[in-house]
Amino acid sequence: MAEMERNATGAAPAVKHHADLENLPALFGRLGDDVVKLLDTKISLLRVELREEIAAYVRGLVLLAFGAGVALIGVVLLSTALAFFISSLFTGIEPPNHYALGFLLTGALLAIIGGGIARAMKKRLAAQSVVPSQSLEELRKDKQWLKKEIQS
């Protein structure tokens, strides 16, 4: 009978509610640990993505440097041949002067072409982003979520 009175008055749920309140600090502790673990995982992912981006960028730069070296040798040989060809068109001028004119015109042509290529590559490299935008967006979302949770 006393047990029925206790159930009717609600004493047992009050004890259970008191036990839940005692577990509340433990739950907040676990929540804090989980949040730290989540942020640690996100930062680790960001590091991995940055390493991959940097490795790809370095690989591209090495190949670009190698290709530029080979192309430079080819451009030197082609420009020399072109300069001699252009100088042969000026047969009415003395030999030192027509060679100079051939090399001058070839140099001007290559400077214009090279400037155009350099400008185009500068724009392309400026448009490329090294920052992993997906990870940063996830971290921003997590930050907003944490602010909402702390305010609640």
The predicted structure's pLDDT at residue 5:
47
Taking the C-alpha atoms of residue 78 and residue 106, their distance in angstroms, rounded to an integer, is 10
Mean pLDDT of the chain, nearest integer: 79
Whole-number pLDDT of residue 21: 61
Distances in whole angstroms, Cα of residue 23 to Cα of each of 20, 26, 27, 95: 5, 5, 6, 99
Q: Could you tell me the pLDDT band of residue 44, with boundaries at 50, 70 and 90? A: confident
Q: What is the pLDDT of residues 72-109, one digit of tens each?
A: 898 888 888 888 888 888 888 887 888 888 888 888 88
Instruction: Provide the pLDDT for residue 18.
Output: 58
Q: What is the pLDDT of residue 38?
A: 84
Sequence-distant (≥ 6) Cβ neighbours of residue 97 within 8 angstroms: 90
All structural domains of the chain with their residue ranges = 2-151
pLDDT at 151 over 80: no
Nearest Cα to Cα of residue 105 among 75, 126, 85, 128? 85
